[in-house]
A and B are shown apart, each in its own frame.
Chain A
Amino acid sequence: MPGSLGYAIWVLATLLEVAVVVCAIKRRSFSRYLCLNLYMFFSFVISLLRFQFLSHFGLRSSEYKYCYYYSDAVLTIFLYLALITLYLNVFDEMKVEKYVRLVAVLLLAGTALFSYGVVQQSSNKMLTGFVYELSQNLYFVGLVLTYVLWGAILKLRETRAQLIQLVLSLGVYFSAFAATFALENMFPSFQFFTYIPPVFGCLLPLAWAYAFWKLTPDARIAPARLAVVPH
Chain B
Amino acid sequence: MSRKLTSVLLAMLILAGAMSLKTVVAAQNNGAVMMANGGAPVPPPMANGGAPVPPPMMANGGAPVPPPMMANGGAPVPPPSAQ
Interface residues of A (CB under 8 A from B): 1-2, 6, 9-14, 17, 43, 46-47, 50-51, 54, 59-60, 62, 64-66, 68-69, 71-72, 75-76, 79, 99, 102-103, 106-107, 110-111, 114, 122-123, 125, 127-129, 131-133, 135-137, 139-141, 143-145, 148, 173-174, 177-178, 180-182, 184-186, 188, 194, 197-198, 200-202
CB pair A107 B17 closer than 8 Å: no
B1 to chain A, nearest CB (A): 12
Q: How far is the CA of A6 from the CA of B38 in the complex (A)?
A: 12
Q: How far is the CA of A197 from the CA of B32 in the complex (A)?
A: 13
A64-B43, A201-B36 given. 15 additional CB < 8 A pairs? A11-B39, A13-B39, A50-B38, A51-B40, A60-B44, A102-B11, A106-B8, A137-B22, A140-B21, A144-B21, A182-B26, A184-B32, A185-B26, A194-B42, A201-B38
CB pair A144 B17 closer than 8 Å: yes
Name the prevailing secondary structure of the B interface residues. loop
A11 to chain B, nearest CB (A): 8
Q: Which residues of B contact A135 (CB under 8 A)?
A: 35
CB pair A143 B21 closer than 8 Å: yes
Also in contact, A106 and B11, with CB within 8 A (given A65-B43, A76-B37): yes
Tell which of B17, B28, B42, B52 touches A197, judged by Cβ atoms closer than 8 Å: B42
Q: Which residue of B lies closest to A107 (CB)?
A: B11
Compute the total of residue contacts between A and B using a CB distance below 8 Å. Answer: 168
A-B contact pairs, 5 of them (CB 8 A): A54-B40, A99-B4, A125-B51, A197-B42, A202-B39
Tell which of B12, B32, B41, B48 touches A125, judged by Cβ atoms closer than 8 Å: B48
Tell which of B3, B17, B41, B55 touches A59, judged by Cβ atoms closer than 8 Å: B41
Q: Which residues of B contact A51 (CB under 8 A)?
A: 40
Q: Which residue of A lies closest to B50 (CB)?
A: A132
Tell which of B8, B14, B27, B54 touches A148, judged by Cβ atoms closer than 8 Å: B14
CB pair A128 B43 closer than 8 Å: no
CB pair B19 A59 closer than 8 Å: no
Q: How far is the CA of A14 from the CA of B25 in the complex (A)?
A: 29
CB pair B19 A201 closer than 8 Å: no
Q: Which residue of B lies closest to A64 (CB)?
A: B43
Q: Which residues of B contact A129 (CB under 8 A)?
A: 48-49, 51
